[in-house]
Amino acid sequence: MYDVLNEVPINAEISHRQAEKNFVIDKHQHLYRENAIVLYDRRYTDYAIIGLHNMLQKDFIIRCPSSQTFSEIEKFIASKKTDSLVVLKKPRNFTNKNLSLCEAQVRLIKVELPTGEIEILVTSLLNQEKYPLDEFLWLYHQRWGIETYFGRLKNILDVQRFSSGFSQEIEQDFFSIILTSSIESIISKEDEMQLQQECFEKGTKYQYKINKSVSYAEIADVVVDLLLDTNKSAEEIFEQLKITFRRSPCAIRPNRSFERKKRGSNLRLRFHKYRKRT
Q: Are 1 and 9 in contact (CB under 8 A)?
A: yes
Residue 259 included in any domain: yes
Residues 165, 129: one domain?
A: no
Range of the domain at 74: 2-142
Q: What is the pLDDT of residue 122?
A: 94
Residue 150 included in any domain: no
Q: What is the pLDDT of residue 200?
A: 78
Residue 148 included in any domain: no
> Is it the case that residue 70 has pLDDT exceeding 60?
yes
Residues 128, 168: one domain?
A: no
Residues 123, 213: one domain?
A: no
Residues 116, 231: one domain?
A: no
Q: How many domains does the chain have?
A: 2
Each residue's pLDDT tens digit, 104-160 = 899 999 999 888 889 999 999 999 999 999 999 898 888 888 888 888 888 888 888
Rg (CA), the chain: 22
Q: What is the pLDDT of residue 222?
A: 79
Number of neighbouring beta carbons within 10 Å of residue 266: 18
Residues 137, 262: one domain?
A: no
Each residue's pLDDT tens digit, 195-233 = 777 777 788 878 778 888 888 888 877 777 777 777 878
Q: What is the pLDDT of residue 273?
A: 54
Choose the final residue of a domain: 111, 142, 173: 142
- For residue 253, the one-letter residue type is R
Output the CA–CA distances (angstroms, integers) from residue 33 to 1, 29, 42, 52, 220, in the order listed: 12, 9, 22, 15, 31
Q: How confident is the model at residue 276 (pLDDT cuts 50, 70, 90)?
A: very low
Report the C-alpha gap between 64 and 71 in whole angstroms. 12
Q: What is the pLDDT of residue 95?
A: 64
Choose the final residue of a domain: 117, 142, 167: 142
Q: Are 241 and 187 in contact (CB under 8 A)?
A: yes
Q: Are 120 and 110 in contact (CB under 8 A)?
A: yes
Q: Average per-residue pLDDT in the chain?
A: 81
Global pTM?
Answer: 0.76
Residues 124, 207: one domain?
A: no
Residues 96, 192: one domain?
A: no
Choose the final residue of a domain: 142, 175, 198: 142
- Strand 207-209 relative to strand 250-252, pairing: antiparallel
For 118, list phi and psi in degrees, rounded to 5. -105, 125
Q: Are 110 and 83 in contact (CB under 8 A)?
A: yes
**Residue that wins the pLDDT comparison between 238 and 138:** 138
Q: How confident is the model at residue 269 (pLDDT cuts 50, 70, 90)?
A: low
Q: How confident is the model at residue 188 (pLDDT cuts 50, 70, 90)?
A: confident
Residues 177, 132: one domain?
A: no
